[in-house]
Structure 1
């Protein structure tokens, strides 16, 4: 079995776990030698940090009188999009795909771990 296929097979579950919020640490720390698991773990990390940033920023903005409801709606739409990206990432990790997410994938590639 070629080396890349071995990495994917061994890393599928680890990569899947990487999309479950703070559990992105599991593949990044537990399977550092597996490129597939680390690839998806880094994307999961960027997704998690992005979701936290959106929550903080838009929760503060939603306190503004009159336009706060608009920011709440935008917050939930962005969080929904992040959730959908996470689900797609989980599916792609279980199917063995190196799927680079829009926006978040470019950021994740720049991270050296």
Structure 2
């Protein structure tokens, strides 16, 4: 499914995708491996924005849950970076099933 030479040559772009999801969209748009991780990074970014906006608006309970949700999303980013560094195509927990980029 994923070419081993593609994985080896684009591991760096896949790792960057979890920090700045748009970089692989520009620099490695022909890499299926980098695009997979760019999709995971974009999904993670959108979840971060949505969670922070929604929980930031909700008084008290949202403010209590916000640090926990951000910690969970940070852990998801670490899991994605580790998977990319190991050359794995592994979806993130909970949010990894969604495909936003083709």
Structure 2 length normalisation: TM-score? 0.92
How do 1:80-99 residues align onto structure 2 when only pairs under 5 Å count? 80-99=71-90
- Once the two structures are TM-superposed, the CA of residue 11 in structure 1 deviates from its matched residue by 1.1
SS in 1 for 2:30: coil
SS in 2 for 1:96: coil
Do residues 30 (structure 1) and 41 (structure 2) align? Answer: no
- Counterparts of 1:48 and 1:4, CA distance in 2: 27
Do residues 46 (structure 1) and 43 (structure 2) align? Answer: yes
SS in 1 for 2:44: helix
Deviations 1:49-82 (A, max 9, x none): 11011111111112xxxxx1x2212111111111
- Counterparts of 1:112 and 1:44, CA distance in 2: 10
Aligned residue pairs, count = 101
- Once the two structures are TM-superposed, the CA of residue 28 in structure 1 deviates from its matched residue by 1.8
Aligned CA RMSD, in angstroms, stands at 1.3
Specify the structure having the higher radius of gyration (Cα): 1
* Ranges in structure 2 where 5+ consecutive residues have no aligned partner: none
* Ranges in structure 1 where 5+ consecutive residues have no aligned partner: 63-67
Q: Which residue number in structure 1 is paired with residue 3 of structure 2? A: 4
Contact 1:16 1:94 (C-alpha < 8 Å) held by counterparts: yes
SS in 2 for 1:104: coil
- Once the two structures are TM-superposed, the CA of residue 101 in structure 1 deviates from its matched residue by 1.1
Q: Which residue number in structure 2 is paired with residue 65 of structure 1? A: none
Q: Which residue number in structure 2 is paired with residue 71 of structure 1? A: 62
Contact 1:25 1:41 (C-alpha < 8 Å) held by counterparts: yes
- Once the two structures are TM-superposed, the CA of residue 112 in structure 1 deviates from its matched residue by 3.5
- Once the two structures are TM-superposed, the CA of residue 29 in structure 1 deviates from its matched residue by 2.2
